[in-house]
Amino acid sequence: MAVTQFMKRYSQPTVWLLAAAFLVAGGAIHAQQPSDASPSVDVSETHFRDAPEFRATFPGMGSRTDNWPEGAPIQEEGSVGYCQICADSECEADFFVGADYLFVRPHFSEAVAFAQGTLGASSFDVVGRDLDFGYDSSLRAFAGYRFGNGDGELRFTFWHLSGETSADAANPGAGQFIVDPFGNVVGTAIVLDPNSALFGTPIVGGEAIHTEARVDANICDLDFAVPWVAHNPNWTFLTSIGIRVADIDQFYESVIVDGAGDFFSGGDFSVDFIGVGPRVGLESRRYFGDNRRLSLFAKAHGALLVGDYDVRFSQTTTAPPFQASQTSTAARTIPVTETELGATCRIGDSFNLSTGWLFQAWYDMGTSGGKFGGFFSGADDANIMSFDGLFVRGEFGF
């Protein structure tokens, strides 16, 4: 059985997760120092002397009342921004909605469209031609409810991530050939494997090859998030726990035609994974400006999904006439890691505008493997499907 290895592009999301962790760690260290942006006030000289409290207002998270750390800087009552001092211990709850425009591209640990070989008098060289995915537009939308008094939020998010690409080649020269992951040939190839019954036999193929690949990911997240405050009011942190449901579809196809443009040989390969599992996350945010309308943030999330991994494979040739197919289903556990780095600007009292870069990796979803007719073997050093790209987010509370 020939199993295709249509996806080869190794992603290293761990590097970016370390960058996010570095920002979080830096915030924790910096949070131990008083902020120069906020005036120091002796709490004992205010009307909070008997029961000192503070109200922490998070853009996108409501407010939270808690004991004010001794010696920490606070803002005057009535000031606008992240840390408001007010005597009222109540905070209204609200709903929120938002959407992201995503401009992302997928990567795969094995993304070889076909292999191109050259057979010389004393040499044999083969080069893999990768499928080069570009950036495509996608959507992420969310809605939720923030509980009063800064007690957290419940958020539902829907993602759609997608990508597609193609590669073509034709008319290889003398001593050259092209082979797809199923072993179908363009040009003329000589079997070099001494263990093959066709050893030394020329294999005559078609005239041109067209390959294409695509991926569609539909993801639903339901998260409950709770904020907590560092001693420095310019920093906030957010922890979350929830559940993820994902439907991932991958597809690869190669078509080889003869000199007249008619079908000569080809094959296709598809994967469908539907899984569900827990999801956890951490966010660090640093505010700037007197009103704290600007902020930088780093987010990191991880999930572990369990579900059915369905694979289908088929191959067809016309000379000689032959058709084969195979399907299989297995239970698979898929780890997922993701991170975001970006900035937010609060516009008015109800709207936040954010932008940044996201990275996401799905382990054991790289769809590697394949024989390429025994002429080419991929250097499979990972099995990862990943995405990276730009996001622009708008969020409205009401």
Model pLDDT for residues 115-167, shown as the tens digit of each residue: 998 887 778 888 888 889 999 999 999 999 988 777 889 999 999 999 999 99
> CA 134, CA 169: separation in Å to the nearest integer?
19
Contact present, 87 and 50 (Cβ < 8 Å): no
Cis peptide before 172 (omega within 30 of 0): no
Among 86-100, 228-242, 287-301, the range scoring the smallest mean pLDDT is 86-100
pLDDT of residue 361 exceeding 90? yes
CA-wise closest residue to 325 among 373, 263, 248, 268: 268
pLDDT of residue 48 exceeding 50? no
CA distances from residue 331 to 109, 242, 305, 328 in whole angstroms, order as listed: 21, 22, 11, 10
Q: Which residue has the higher pLDDT, 98 or 38?
A: 98
Among 26-40, 307-321, 338-352, the range scoring the smallest mean pLDDT is 26-40
> How many other β-carbons are positioned within 10 Å of the β-carbon of residue 228?
12
Q: And the tokens for 298? A: 């780093």
DSSP one-letter code for 180: -
Spell out the residues 6+ positions from residue 178 whose beta carbon is closer than 8 angstroms to its own. Answer: 114, 115, 116, 117, 169, 172, 185, 186, 187, 205, 209
pLDDT of residue 290 exceeding 50? yes
pLDDT of residue 3 exceeding 70? no
pLDDT of residue 98 exceeding 80? yes
256 HSE (CA, 13 A, CB side): 28
Name the percent of the chain lying above pLDDT 90.
49
pLDDT of residue 86 exceeding 80? no
> CA 116, CA 123: separation in Å to the nearest integer?
14
